Structure formats: structure tokens, C-alpha cells
Amino acid sequence: MEYFYPSKIGGPANTLYWLCKALIGKGYNVVAVATGKGIEAGRVDLDRWLDVDGIETCYCSATSKMPFSVIAKSIGKLSSVDVVVLSSLCFAPNFFVAFMAKFKGKKIIWSPRGELFDSAINNSKGKNLFFSLVKILFGKRVIFQATSEVEKKAILRHFPNSKVVIIPNYMEIPEKEDVETDYTDFLYVGRIAPIKALDKLIKGLAESRHFRDSRYKLKLVGSVEHQFNDYYKSLQALIKELKVEDKILFVGSLSGKDKFQAYASARYSFLVSDSENFGNVVIEALSQGTPVVASKGTPWERLNEEEAGFWIENTPEEIAKTIDAIIEQTEDNYIRYRNNALELSASFDVYKHVEEWEKVFMEIV
């Protein structure tokens, strides 16, 4: 895999770590191979095997798009494992690890992580050609893991004869932070990247009838990867153009207790991405009793069903309408939404759902 805890890049870094811990707790031996990307310098030793909470782990040096050390370390462990779980179709080393795993007769579960959505492919001929090659070599020989029914359909469009299991992302539910707040923050937590549609969120806030004159501010929490620096600059320019500099603030990355205190202090958290295969940040927010506004590009219809937030189209107009509804929401109704949010988060506890993975393992081994 490309990212693994304590990497700060992407939800799968933590999702896979929590899954590994849950499997260790069930008596499985688990081996993890990843790059050291997104990990603070000196936090882990690279290119050597470490014990990370019982998980035999190697973080490999990655100075190019093809970190051969990931391939070598992974292939070196194939003889000692029964099942190979690959995260990401587009992480190049996984193709070669899958090829060798197939050669050695190992069972493979592959998690595309949203890479087969149209918005992620973005009409790329190169990606479509690569996916066709994967279909020819592995299509009938692997099980694909989807995190939602929507992602399952996206997988089957490219791999129509493959088996797909739906297992949502589960997580280690954090303790609720005890904070004193008047809930005046709107919050976004995640990467500053085009697929997150932050430009639409900013425009929606600016178009709201109430936001400019309200007590609320939006805090954007997240890191800016080098390839998205131009997008970050365009967002800064947009904020200035719409004259909301005092209402929309970039606050950089937060982690650990600081991040969860930000969630707990927020009135609502937002994830209005063009597409997401899941969205761990939704559960993180819910775990702090914070309702969420998520786009219909995410699989979070339950927010409407459980009255723990809003599931909406991610147009600026629809976002503006939702912002106005939130600002007009009565305090009693808001407290009910917070209680519902806490209740919904509890249904995503990884330790209560690890059996879903075990069932797949038992079927294929």
C-alpha cells in the first residue's frame, strides 16, 4: 500500500491500520508493507521490519512513482501469507505484487478506493487502458472490496465478471472530546484537492442569505500536496474575490486530540466532494456528536435517514440553501441532530464488524 499509519495522507492510512489491529485481536498474523509517505521525518525507521501494535510492518523509501522496495518487501512475504489485500489499483507496485501473488496461488482482495468512479478516471485513456489490462490478467481471479453499493456498481462497470463484496470502512471510534463551545464554526477536514469541491463550498457560503451576517465562520483544515498548490491558490483568490476573507479561513493540518477538538467544537462538518468511495471524516465528525453535510457524490444517504446531517447535491445553490437551513435550525432540533450523530457513529466500530472481513477470508481460503 502507499500510505499506512502514522501517515497523514488519506483516510486509508488509518482505515487499514485499524483493520489490521482488529485482525490481530482476533488472532491473525498480519503483515503490512507501505511507503513512508506522509510520515514525519524520523517518526519511523525506513526499509526495516518493525512491530507496530503487533503488526509486522515495513515502511519503504519512496523517491519515485515506482518504489521497488515495496515490491521486493511484499514479494518476500508472499510465501508466509494466505491472503493478499491490496489497497489502490493505481499504486503501481500493487500490479506487480498481484502478478506474483497470482503466480504463487495466493488469494487476492483488491480495494480500488474510489479510483473507478468517473470523476477519478476523468476520461484518462491511460487509466482506462491500464484497467483493461488488470481485467484481462486478474478480473476473475480477485475479489474486489467496495465500501458502498455505489462503488460496487463502478467496479462492475470495469470488471463485469468479478466478485465484489461490500464492506464499509470501519474505524476505531475515538472518545468524545469534552469542549466548551457555542458551536460557531463550520468545518472541513481533509486534503485541499480539486475532487473535494471546496470551490463549490466557498461559493455556496458566499451565496447564502445568512452566512455573511452570521456569527459563523468556515475553517478549512488540511494539508496541500505539491500537485494541488495551484488549486489552493485559486481558492485563496476566490475567497478574496467573493469578499469573505474574514469568514473562511485555512488553518493548516490538525491531528490527534487537536483534530477531534475541532470536530467537537464545530456546528457542522462538510464533505461536498465530487466523489468519495466512503469518507472517513464523516465518521470522525459524527463520533464527536457533530452533524455532517455530505454531497451525493459520497455514500452518506444515511445522514438524511438518521437525521444526523444533510445529503445534498454539491452545487453552490444547494449548498447555500442548506447553510441557510442550518443557520435557521432551532436549538432543540440541533441538539437532536447531535445526539443522532453520536448514535450513528457507533455503528462503524471496527472491532464490532471485523467478522465481515473474516467471513470473506473463510470463503476464499
Q: Give the pLDDT of residue 365.
A: 78
pLDDT, tens digit (0-9, with 9 covering 90-100), for 112-129: 999 999 988 989 999 999
Give CATH for domain 185-348. 3.40.50.2000
Q: Give the pLDDT of residue 10.
A: 76
- Does 290 have pLDDT greater than 90? yes
May I ask the CATH class of domain 12-172+349-364?
alpha beta
Three-class HEC string of 34-90: EECCCCCCCCCCECCEEEECCEEEEEECCCCCCCHHHHHHHHHHHHHCCEEEEECCC
| Model confidence, pTM | 0.85
Q: Is the separation of the CB atoms in 346 and 174 below 8 Å?
A: no
Q: Is the separation of the CB atoms in 342 and 306 below 8 Å?
A: no
- Does 354 have pLDDT greater than 90? yes
Partners of 166 in the β-ladder: 146
Q: Give the pLDDT of residue 246.
A: 96
Q: Domain residue spans in the chain?
A: 12-172+349-364, 185-348
Q: How confident is the model at residue 66 (pLDDT cuts 50, 70, 90)?
A: confident
The residues, any chain, with a CB within 8 Å of residue 94's CB and separated by 6 or more, are 1, 86, 87, 88, 110
3-state class (DSSP) for residue 298: coil
- Does 285 have pLDDT greater than 90? yes
Q: How confident is the model at residue 222 (pLDDT cuts 50, 70, 90)?
A: very high
| Pairing verdict, β 248-252 and 217-221 | parallel
Q: How confident is the model at residue 220 (pLDDT cuts 50, 70, 90)?
A: very high
The two domains 12-172+349-364 and 185-348 share their CATH topology (first three levels equal): yes
Q: How confident is the model at residue 65 (pLDDT cuts 50, 70, 90)?
A: confident
Which H or E run includes 20? Answer: helix 12-25
Average pLDDT, the chain: 95
